[in-house]
A and B are shown apart, each in its own frame.
Chain A
Amino acid sequence: QKEVEQNSGPLSVPEGAIASLNCTYSDRVSQSFFWYRQYSGKSPELIMSIYSNGDKEDGRFTAQLNKASQYVSLLIRDSQPSDSATYLCAVNQGGSYIPTFGRGTSLIVHP
C-alpha cells in the first residue's frame, strides 16, 4: 500500500511568520513530488513541483525534498492571510503515472 501522509492540522501561524508543511511517503522509488493549494470550495492548484533532492525556491515558497528520509516539505515565508487553505502533497510513486495524494494540511494564517 503506497501511502502519503500529512498532518491534517490545522496549522495556525501569525501573519508574517514561516509556515512549515510536511509530507512523508512510503515508496522509495518515487520520482515526482508536488504541492497543491486548495481553497475551500475550489479545486487544487499547483504551487510547486520538485524532482531532485534539495531545495527549490519560487517566490515566498520553498520545497524541500529528502529522498533518503522519504519526506518532502513546503515552507511559506512571510505568510499572509490569503495563504490560508488546505495544502495537498502528491507523489508519483514507483514509476506510477497516477499520483498518490495526501489528505492535506489545513493552514490558517491569522492577522
Chain B
Amino acid sequence: GAGVSQSPSNKVTEKGKDVELRCDPISGHTALYWYRQSLGQGLEFLIYFQGNSAPDKSGLPSDRFSAERTGGSVSTLTIQRTQQEDSAVYLCASSGDSADTQYFGPGTRLTVL
C-alpha cells in the first residue's frame, strides 16, 4: 500500500516568507508526528497528533511554527517569517498506534536564503 507522502520534496524560499509543508499519512494511521533534522544532526521532535485529541506542541521551537491536521488525516506544517536557521529536512511520520512503529515520509528539504 501507499506509504507516507510529503510535498514539496524541496522548497527554497527567501528569509521572511511563509512556507507550508504537507504530509499525507498512511491511511488509517491515527498518530502523526513532525520532526526536523538539520545536517548531521538527530531528529528533533516538533509536534504530535493523535486522533481527535489536542496536539502535543511541546517541540515547536517558536510561535512562528504551527501545524494542523484536518479530518484526522492530512497535516500541514506552517512556518511563518522563515529564518535561515529554519533550513533543514522536515520529516513526517505516522503510526497505527501511539507506541508502535513510525513510518517516515521522504521529507521536505527546506532552504531559507
Contacts and interface: CB of A to CB of B under 8 A. Distances in A.
Interface string B25-48: 000000101000000011101001
A88 B42 contact: yes
Contacts of A64: none
Given A34-B101, A43-B105, A45-B104, A98 B41 contact: no
Interface string B87-113: 000010000001111111111000000
Size range of the interface on A?
20 to 34
Given A34-B101, A46-B102, A49-B101, A97 B43 contact: no
A43 B107 contact: yes
B102 A103 contact: no
A95 B9 CA distance: 33
A39 to B, nearest CB: 12
A88 B102 CA distance: 13
Interface string A71-111: 00000000000000000101010000111111110000000
B99 A92 contact: yes
Nearest to B50: A97
A91 to B, nearest CB: 11
Contacts of B41: 103
A88 B43 contact: yes
Contacts of B101: 34, 46, 49
Interface in B66-93: 91
B18 interface: no
B91 A98 contact: no
B104 A44 contact: yes
Given A43-B104, A92-B99, A97-B50, 9 more contacts: A44-B91, A45-B104, A88-B43, A97-B31, A97-B98, A97-B99, A98-B45, A101-B45, A103-B41
Q: Which 9 A-B pairs have the closest CB atoms?
A: A97-B98, A103-B42, A43-B104, A101-B43, A32-B99, A46-B101, A44-B104, A43-B107, A101-B42
6 contacts: A43-B105, A44-B43, A46-B102, A46-B103, A97-B50, A103-B42
